[in-house]
């Protein structure tokens, strides 16, 4: 949040109170003082419950600087087919951060039942009900470690098996994605930045950047979508970007537009 006076100048030294009005999450602090640029900021860590989170930032005794922020908590979705589990990036392993929500969606006409056959010491067990077509099961890995799970209904040799690898919150970093126009006129509509097939996404204008603040310190697939037909992307799209723990990694997409 930025505090400014009526002339638009930054106001330092303002005590801002932060409060979660709705939803499940954790604030890094409940109050913060604006700096020389008039900025007050805290880190919101989403909880394991899907849905909206509403956060208020206000100055006590006045509503002059009251601001409301909205965040929608989603899940890492794994699709269930007859003979395999499909995480967002393909393969058989889903990389998440402990505390994230994993959701399985049965895309198969047959029913499936999930059970973990391996979990870390102290880890919760993957244990779904029987999932019919279009039904979902959600699971939250409660600590770092590896879960291996199977479909207990299809118990044959070819029974599908999946893996979840959860890292700790201390093993995360930030990913900054910039979109710049290297040649021509910037497009007038937004482009869509996606990470890991849409696990994280943001719609921005060319010339802007978006910061994804808490992502596992592992390789991720970053892709630019909804690019106007009169623009060409220089370099790889999608591309692999490795996030570094406790650091911010930046990748830049350059557009050449007619």
Q: 139 to each of 2, 49, 96, 113, 149, how far by Cα in Å?
A: 37, 10, 12, 13, 12
Provide the domain limits for residue 206: 171-257
Question: What is the reported pTM?
Answer: 0.52
Residue-wise pLDDT tens digits, 201-213: 888 888 899 888 7
Identify the weakest region by mean pLDDT among 60-74, 85-99, 107-121.
60-74
Residues with Cβ within 8 Å of residue 186, at least 6 apart in sequence? 205, 206, 207, 255, 257
Q: 120 and 103: one domain? A: yes
Is residue 64 in some structural domain?
A: yes
Task: Round to the nearest angstrom and report the end-to-end CA distance of the chain.
Answer: 37
Q: Considering its fold, how many domains does the chain have in total?
A: 3
Q: 92 and 66: one domain? A: no
CATH of the domain at 237: 2.60.40.10
| Dihedral sign of CA atoms 229, 231, 234, 237 in order | negative
C-alpha angle with apex 245: 241 to 246, nearest 5 degrees? 120
CA distance 187 to 258: 9
The DSSP element (H or E) to which 139 belongs, if any, is strand 136-139
The DSSP element (H or E) to which 137 belongs, if any, is strand 136-139
Beta bridge mates, 80:
85, 106
Residue-wise pLDDT tens digits, 14-43: 888 888 777 767 777 888 888 888 888 887
pLDDT at 20: 79
* Nearest-10 Cα torsion for 26, 89, 198, 204: 110
Residue-wise pLDDT tens digits, 2-12: 777 778 788 88
């Amino acid at each position: 949040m930025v505090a400014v006076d009526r002339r638009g100048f930054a106001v330092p030294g303002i005590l801002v109170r932060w409060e979660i009005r709705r939803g499940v999450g954790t604030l890094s602090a409940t109050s913060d003082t604006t700096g020389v640029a008039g900025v007050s900021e805290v880190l919101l860590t989403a909880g394991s419950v899907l849905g909206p989170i509403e956060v208020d930032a206000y100055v006590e005794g006045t509503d002059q600087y009251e601001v409301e922020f909205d965040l929608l908590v989603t899940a890492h979705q794994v699709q269930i087919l007859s003979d395999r589990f499909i995480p967002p990036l393909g393969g058989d392993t889903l990389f998440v951060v402990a505390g994230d929500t994993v959701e399985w969606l049965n895309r198969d006409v047959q029913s499936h039942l999930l059970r973990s056959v391996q979990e870390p010491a102290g880890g919760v067990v993957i244990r779904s009900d029987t999932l019919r077509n279009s039904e979902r099961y959600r699971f939250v890995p409660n600590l770092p470690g590896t879960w291996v799970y199977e479909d207990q209904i299809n118990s044959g040799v070819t029974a599908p098996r999946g893996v979840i690898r959860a890292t700790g919150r201390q093993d995360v970093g930030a990913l900054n994605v910039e979109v710049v126009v290297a040649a021509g006129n910037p497009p007038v509509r937004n482009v869509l930045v996606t990470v890991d097939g849409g696990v994280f996404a943001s719609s921005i204008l060319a010339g802007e950047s978006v910061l994804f603040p808490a992502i596992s310190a592992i390789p991720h697939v970053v892709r630019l979508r909804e690019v106007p037909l009169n623009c060409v992307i220089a370099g790889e799209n999608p591309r692999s970007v490795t996030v570094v723990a406790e650091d911010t990694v930046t990748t830049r997409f350059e557009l050449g537009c007619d």
